[in-house]
Chain A
Amino acid sequence: MVDKKALRVALVGRPNTGKSSLFNRLTGLSQKVGNYPGVTMEKRTGLIKLAPGVLAEIIDLPGIYSLHPSSPDEQVVMDSFLNENVDEKIDVVIGLADGTNLKTCLFVFTQIIDLGIPAVLAVTMSDEMERKGMELDVLGLSESLGVPITLVNGRLGHGIKELQDNILTASVSQNIPFFQPGGLHLEWINKVSEDKNFDIPYKSWLFGLRGSEYEELISSTGKTIARARADEAIKRYRRVNEWLREFFVTHPGKDRRWTARLDRWAVNPFWGSIILLILMFLLFQALFFGSEAPMNFIDDQFAQLSNILKSNLPNGFLSHLITNGIIPGIAGVLIFIPQIAILFGLISLLEESGYMSRVVFIMDRFMRPFGLSGKSVVPMVSGTACAIPAIMSTRNMENSREKWLSIAVAPLITCAARLPVYALLISLVIPDQTFLGLSLRGLVLFSLYMIGFFAALLGSAALNKIMPEAQSNPFLLEMPSYRFPQLRNVGHAIINRTKSFVTEAGKIILAISVVLWFFASFGPGKTPDFTQDYEAIPIEDSYVGKMGKAIEPVMKPLGFDWKVSIAVLSSFVAREVFVGTMATLYSVDDNEKSSIREQMAKQKDPETGEPYFNLAVGVSLLLFYAFAMQCMSTYAVVARETRSHKFAAIQFLILGILAYGASFLSYSILA
Chain B
Amino acid sequence: MYLSDLKIGQKAIVLQASISLPVKLYEMGCMPGEEIELNYAAPFSGPMCFLVQGTLISMRKELAQLVPITEPNVKSLTNG
Contacts and interface: CB of A to CB of B under 8 A. Distances in A.
B49 A267 contact: yes
Given A263-B40, A267-B40, A365-B46, A475 B60 contact: yes
A370 interface: no
Interface string B44-80: 1111010101111111100100000000000000001
Contact of B24 (A234, A237, A268, A474): A474
B57 A233 contact: no
Contact of A65 (B21, B24, B42, B43): B24
Report, as a range, how many residues of chain A touch the other chain: 35 or more
A364 B46 contact: yes
Contact of B45 (A100, A260, A365): A365
Interface stretch (A449-457, A476-484, A613-621, A649-657): A476-484
Contact of B28 (A100, A104, A269, A365): A104
Interface in A473-511: 474-480
Nearest to A477: B58
A362 interface: yes
Interface string A204-231: 0000000000000000000010110110
Given A101-B54, A361-B49, A476 B24 contact: yes
B23 to A, nearest CB: 4
Contacts, number: 112
A68 interface: yes
B20 A65 contact: no
Contacts of A480: 56
A267 B42 contact: yes
A365 B47 CA distance: 7
Contact of B26 (A233, A256, A259, A260): A233
B13 interface: no
A299 interface: no
A66 B27 contact: yes
A268 B40 CA distance: 8
Contacts of B23: 66, 68, 70, 226, 229-230, 233
Contact of A365 (B24, B39, B44, B49): B44
A104 B22 contact: no
Given A475-B59, A478-B56, 17 more contacts: A65-B28, A66-B23, A101-B55, A107-B29, A224-B20, A229-B23, A229-B27, A267-B49, A268-B40, A361-B42, A361-B47, A361-B49, A474-B63, A476-B22, A476-B57, A476-B59, A477-B57
Interface of A: 65-66, 68, 70, 100-101, 103-104, 107, 224, 226-227, 229-230, 233-234, 237-238, 255-256, 259-260, 263, 267-269, 357, 360-362, 364-365, 368, 474-480
17 contacts: A65-B24, A65-B28, A66-B23, A70-B27, A103-B29, A233-B31, A234-B26, A263-B40, A267-B42, A362-B42, A364-B42, A365-B45, A368-B60, A474-B22, A475-B63, A476-B28, A480-B56
